[in-house]
Amino acid sequence: MLKSDMTEGTNSALQQLDYHDAFNNAVTLPGVDPDRMVYCGTSFSGGNVIHAAATDKHIKAAIAQALSVSGETRSLEFKDQIHELFNNRARIATSGQRDRVLCITSTAEEAQTGTAPVLFSDLHAYESYSQIPDCGGKWGNYVTEQTQLHMLWFEPQAYMYRIAPKSFFMVIPGNDVMVKTSSQAEAFGKARELKQMLFLKGAGHFDIYQGGWFERNIRVQVEFLRRCLTE
Give all domains of the chain, ordered by start, each with its CATH number. Answer: 2-70+155-228 (3.40.50.1820), 73-151 (no CATH)
Name the residue type at position 34.
P
Instruction: Evaluate whether 127 touches 207 at the Cβ level (below 8 Å).
Output: no
Q: How confident is the prediction for the chain on average, in pLDDT?
A: 88
With a pLDDT cut of 70, the percent of the chain lying above it is: 96
CA 112, distance to chain mean position in Å, is: 24
pLDDT at 9 over 80: no
pLDDT at 77 over 50: yes
Quote the pLDDT of residue 118.
Answer: 87
pLDDT at 120 over 60: yes
Quote the pLDDT of residue 8.
Answer: 40
Lowest-confidence range among 115-124, 147-156, 160-169, 213-222?
147-156
User: Taking the CB of residue 229, how many other CB atoms lie within 10 A of it?
Assistant: 15
Instruction: Evaluate whether 56 touches 39 at the Cβ level (below 8 Å).
Output: yes
Q: Give the separation between CA 50 and CA 179, rounded to whole angstroms.
A: 15
Quote the pLDDT of residue 222.
Answer: 97
Quote the pLDDT of residue 6.
Answer: 38
12-26 vs 145-152: helix crossing angle, rounded to 10: 90
pLDDT, tens only, 84-95: 878 888 887 787
Instruction: Evaluate whether 208 touches 66 at the Cβ level (below 8 Å).
Output: yes
Instruction: Evaluate whether 154 touches 71 at the Cβ level (below 8 Å).
Output: yes
61 to 39, 54, 139: CA distances (angstroms): 7, 10, 31
Given pLDDT bands bounded at 50, 70 and 90, which one contains residue 2?
very low
Given pLDDT bands bounded at 50, 70 and 90, which one contains residue 111?
very high
Name the residue type at position 18.
D
Instruction: Look at residues 61, 60, 49, 63 and name the one whose alpha carbon lies nearest to residue 20.
Output: 49
pLDDT, tens only, 125-154: 999 998 888 888 778 898 888 887 888 888
